[in-house]
Amino acid sequence: MNDNEHEFHDEAEEIRAETAAAAPELAEHDRVGELEKALEEAQSKALYAAAEQQNVRRRLEKEMADARSYAAAGFARDMLAIKDHIDRALAAVSDELRTDTTAANFLAGIEATARELESVFTRNGVERVASKGLPLDPHRHQAMIEILSDEEPGTVIEEMQAGYVMKDRLLRPALVGVAKKSG
């Protein structure tokens, strides 16, 4: 606005203010305008609050779903140590001991326990991480040693300890040995 327009605007406001006192409908019109503006602001704030509430509700629902899905992850991780001990015990049993009747019955019970533990893991979405023969995946494998080999460098050629996932969450990485170019 230039100076003339400012003067004209200011003069118009003065005239409006003077006549508003004598014209209640003009004051009422101004009050309606103020109320409409206040209503628009209140509606805008209400919409924002409703959107924020919906976002919070969605976040909470996702957190609850994740909590339900992975509630057993800590327990499953702890059970992996027990599975490792059972597997090592069974692997250490000699063929001679397996032919002994008393030992064979005892071993059958341990093997049944191992199978049941594996069944419980399967029902709860706990799966062994595939390793041997695959390229090293730093999200699922932890390389412990490099081994001279004719295999493609970086290929998993030995598994020292099995890794496990629960659904899509890593419980424990597989401890592996990877191929290193010989020569």
pTM of the model: 0.61
CB count within 10 Å of CB 87 equals: 15
In whole angstroms, give the CA distance from residue 166 to residue 73: 7
How far does the chain reach from its first CA to its final CA, in angstroms?
Answer: 84
Note the pLDDT tens digit of each residue in 14-23.
777 676 666 6
Cα angle for residues 73, 79, 84 (degrees, 5° grid) = 130
Q: pLDDT-based confidence at 155, cuts 50/70/90?
A: very high
Q: What is the pLDDT of residue 20?
A: 63
Note the pLDDT tens digit of each residue in 40-73.
999 999 999 999 999 999 999 998 887 877 778 8
Q: What is the pLDDT of residue 23?
A: 66
